[in-house]
Structure 1
Amino acid sequence: MKITALETLFLKEFNNVTWVRVHTDEGITGIGETYYGSGAVSAHLHETLAGRLLGKDPLRIEELNREMVNLPLAQASTGAEYRAASAVDIALWDLYGKVVNQPIHQLLGGLCWDKLRVYNTCAGYRYVRSANIRPVDTWNFSADGPYEDLQGFMERPGELAQSLLAQGISAMKIWPFDPAALANKGRYISAAELKKALHPFEEIRKTVGDRMDIMVEFHCLWDLPTAKQIARELEPFKPYWFEDSIRMNSPQALAEYARATPVRVCASETLGSAAPYNEMLRHDAIDVVMVDICWTGGITEARKIAILADIHHKPFAPHDCTGPIGLAAAVHTALSQPNSLIQETVRAFYTGWYKEVVTRVPTIKDGFVYPLEGPGLGVDLLPEVMERDDLIIRRSEL
């Protein structure tokens, strides 16, 4: 079997979501996905990776993964080079599953979990329907459906927590500190800003008590002293974890932060390849290992990171706030790893725009996600996507 063509596809409506299709001379195709910078991802794939992949055996996944990242600019990052390689890697695993007629989780060793707890990242319907990722208070609020959860956590946090609990979802992630971080460039937070950012936590605890676990997302926006100050103020609300409180470029700094709070430190979708995770773990800077499979090198590298976390007795928690193929890859990977803790989901996505572009989404019921069956990912693009006027396809052929 040989790779005969590579395609990148994206829709202008979701122009940060890039899909990659790998075609073979036996007519079997695989699909992968990555997020952010579709133009850069596409350029790298067609101008650099195509020459390394076309004509090769697609089932030699480990070898091809190393070939894709064995470049001066792609050693360990989440830049365009790694994002392109991640999408191709996911597509290769999807293709492999179709060849042997098995789901990816079986190829990874089989299920360790019959279901896995999920949490809801409180984004809204138009969170990714934009060319730019903008400040939290202008992220395209809409009335596209009942789950405008970004506006919900900012304006009606107690009501939002009740809505999630009614669906069996007992964990939620919010980021009310972002406006202050953006206003002050992460260097300080005023008393008024702190009071406003703490309000959602007060309302959630007042409304539902301790029935809801609350993850706090900081998007790497704070300096270390201010991050520690905010952590102290949040501790009485018993957060489930603090995520990406500072920039993820210093194991020593993150370890200092971790020592300063009893709350678990979660990191980080911003790390590419197992190497920086290894350094963070060696410095005892991470309590929960989060991986975005669409950014960190695909399923091949994500599995290595999960094993590395397990060696350090740390749980694994895949990221997903991007696209439906990425969610499917994350679910297959998470359910096959013994140290998986929880899976990120966005109900505004999997009940909303995901269904506009893919054939199916994972079953999420009563706060748990269930295995996807069928060969490979078990998910593909809808035929209607190929008929859309805003579809852009670029193709490289053998």
Structure 2
Amino acid sequence: MEIVDYDLYEVPPRWLFLRVETDTGLVGWGEPVVEGRAHTVRAAVEELMDAYLVGEDPLPVEDHWQTMYRGGFYRGGPVLMSAIAGIDQALWDIRGKHFDAPAYELLGGPVREKIQVYQWVGGDRPDDVADAAREKVDAGYDALKMNATAELRRVDSPSAVDDAVERLRTVREAVGRDVDVAVDFHGRVSKPMAKRLVAALEPHEPFFVEEPVLPEHLDALPAIQAQTSTPIATGERLYTRGDFRDVLETGAVDVIQPDLSHAGGITEVAKIASMAETYDVALAPHCPLGPIALAACVQVDAVAQNALIQEQSLDIHYNETADVLDYLADPSVFEFEDGYLPLPDGPGLGVEIDRDVVEDRAGAVDWHNPVWRLEDGSVAEW
């Protein structure tokens, strides 16, 4: 068997799908994208596919991963690792279909039957969070996540802290103590404000605080952790085992959040998860993306003993023009049951992509995150 062709599709709302075709008719799908940089990652995928994979047997996935990563002198970073990630997903999809088994069976077999999922509420600049939280809980979710704040100054006012606390308080009162409510700082918060916020939010018992500071300031995590007993989560903007090793060795992170479309795909994230387990750190894969990325996440969740919860993007505020289920031939594969997603039992990634729908909607995707500015005109973190 050999790879004979591939296609790339930019599809709304902000995703890039890869279809890899073999001479036996087996097809694998992957989702290689950096949100807002689809064109750039597309070029990287084309370079990797043309240089290393077309004409090759798709089955030795690990060797292909090593070739794509180690074959280039310059390594890592969001663009290259996202390109590798999507290709890796497609290769695992083909490998599973070749052996007529889910990818998780080829990774050692599942340690669970289902994975808890959480649902976003509140949007970029969070508001109406209490009503939205009630709606999601009434719909069957028992875990939620919300942004903590809109843009903040490096050292902001007490009222800015009060506003964040009030939002979480209203959600906690609306849904009670049996529902998990995670709070995402989204890298918007400076070190001094992060220390104040984590302490102020603690009485309302967040499930975890996500990305309290930007990746370039992870050395501040121990000081932030010292202000709270709330679990600290981070990792959506880390891309390799080396990146995660550095943060794990701080001892200040409780939940890691590698993204299966950014951190090297199934091959790399399975290794990151195992590494985190040795530090007694949980896994909660980042996934505000499409159906292929979610399917890849679940393959790793199935085999990772330390998998805690799974992000998914149904009805998320980014998905105004298309949603996760739109591209699936059988949307029932992602039917949640009492806040959990049962493991898909289909071969490969366990989802069937509707190619007709993909081709009908494909075109240049021009999504970019907003650029926010503070009152003085300087750029703020989004």
How does the TM-score come out when normalised to structure 1?
A: 0.84
CA distance in 1 between partners of 2:30 and 2:122 (Å): 23
| Counterpart in the other structure of 2:373 | none
Q: CA, structure 1 residues 19+387, in 2 after alignment: closer, same or farther (shift >3 Å)?
A: closer
Query: 1:49, CA displacement in angstroms?
Result: 4.1
Q: Which residue of structure 1 lines up, in the alignment, with residue 271 of structure 2?
A: 304
* Alpha-carbon distance between aligned partners in 1 of 2:17 and 2:112, rounded to the nearest angstrom: 28
Find the counterpart in structure 1 of residue 111 from structure 2: 112
Alpha-carbon distance change, 247 to 72 in structure 1, aligned in 2, over 3 angstroms? farther
1:191 to 150, 158, 161: 158
Question: Larger deviation: 206-215 or 233-242?
Answer: 206-215
**Could you say what secondary structure the match of 1:19 adopts?**
strand
Amino acid at match of 1:356: D
SS at match of 1:301: helix
- Which position in structure 1 is the counterpart of 2:130? 158
Asked whether the equivalents of residues 32 and 84 of structure 2 are also in contact (C-alpha less than 8 Å), the reply is no
C-alpha distance in structure 2 between counterparts of 1:296 and 1:118, whole Å: 20
Shift of residue 214, structure 1, vs aligned partner? 1.4
Aligned partner of 1:284 in structure 2 is 251
CA distance, structure 2, for counterparts of residue 198 and residue 347 of structure 1: 26
Q: What is the deviation of 1:392?
A: 5.9
Partner of 2:28: 30
Matched, 1:100 2:99: yes
* Equivalent residue for 2:340, pick from 362, 368, 372: 368
Partner of 1:5: 5
Alpha-carbon shift at residue 246 of structure 1 (Å): 0.5
Other-structure match for 1:381? 353
Q: Which AA in structure 2 matches 1:55?
A: G
Distance of 1:218 and 1:34 partners within structure 2:
25
1:309-364 Cα offsets, whole Å, 9 max, x none, are 11112111112111111111111210221111111123416997222212234231
Shift in alpha-carbon separation, 1:384–1:5, aligned structure 2, 3 A: closer
Of 141, 147, 151, 1:180 maps to 151
Instruction: Answer yes or no: is the 8 Å Cα contact 2:290–2:313 preserved in 1.
Output: no
Per-residue Cα deviation, 1:83-108 (whole angstroms, up to 9, x for no partner): 11100000000000010000111111
Shift of 1:306: 0.7
Distance in 1 of aligned mates of 2:93 and 2:16? 16
SS in 2 for 1:325: helix
The one-letter amino acid paired with 1:28 is L
Residue in structure 2 matched with residue 328 of structure 1 by the alignment: 295
Question: 1:389 Cα shift?
Answer: 5.7
CA contact (8 A) 2:84 2:264 kept: yes
Unaligned runs of 5+ in 1: 125-135, 138-152, 394-398
CA contact under 8 A between 1:161 and 1:212: conserved in structure 2? no
Tell me what 1:147 maps to: none
Task: Give 4+ residue runs of structure 1 displaced > 3 Å after superposition.
Answer: 349-352, 389-393
Please give the secondary structure, in 1, of the residue aligned with 2:176. helix
Q: Is the 8 A contact 2:9 2:359 kept in 1?
A: no
For the residue of structure 2 that corresponds to 1:173, the secondary structure is: strand
Mapped contact 2:209–2:233 kept (Cα < 8 A): yes
- Letter of the 1:117 partner, please give it: Q
**1:218-247: per-residue Cα shift (whole Å, max 9, x none)?**
111222111101111111111111110101
The whole-number CA distance in structure 2 between the counterparts of 1:40 and 1:208 is 42
Paired with 2:222 and 2:49, the residues of 1 have a C-alpha distance of 36
46 and 330 in structure 1: CA distance in 2 versus 1, 3 angstrom threshold:
same
Corresponding residue to 1:255 among 222, 227, 236: 222
Hey, what's the Cα distance between the residues in 2 that align with 1:353 and 1:119? 16
CA contact (8 A) 1:269 1:319 kept: yes
1:145 match: none
How far apart are the structure 1 equivalents of 2:249 and 2:120? 29
Distance in 2 separating the partners of 1:387 and 1:235 = 47
Structure 1 pair 10–219 and aligned structure 2 pair: CA distance change class (3 A): same
